[in-house]
Amino acid sequence: MIGELIIESKGKRIVRRVLSVGPPTVEVTFEESGSLLGTPSTGMGTYTSVIDADGSIHGEGRGIDTTNDGEAVVWTGTGSGKFGPGGSVSYRGMLFFKTTSTKLARLNNACGAFEFEVGADGSTSSKIWEWK
């Protein structure tokens, strides 16, 4: 069951690099700002995407989100994606959280269902809901 919105943020892709051409594999790093459990936050992440012969995308990533008062949570995740108009990409998947923060401790071992969109211009948007 989908629960509370954990993270909502917007940002930009800052780095892309090709890791392989057989199969096509790309690494992407992004930075975003928004909210983490309703508190202003910033985040960054890096994911590696493998493009299958049918055009579908499988990605694995990791990142960190930090509240403006210094609390942090790290995540790892996996998802599936597809290309859209002009090179945009849309992903859906799951994230898994860890933190040493007492304020964010309820996220330890929580699963987050995510939507991650990358526009043709490199803009990003993320929404992550707790999966109960």
pTM for this structure?
A: 0.93
pLDDT at 121: 97
Domain extents for the chain? Answer: 2-131
Other CB atoms closer than 10 Å to residue 14's CB: what's the count? 13
- In this structure, is the dihedral angle defined by the CA atoms of residues 78, 47, 111 and 122, taken in order, positive or negative? negative
**What are 38-81's pLDDT values in tens digits?**
999 999 999 999 999 999 999 999 999 999 999 999 999 999 99
Of residues 132 and 25, more confidence is placed in: 25
CATH number given to 2-131: 2.40.160.20
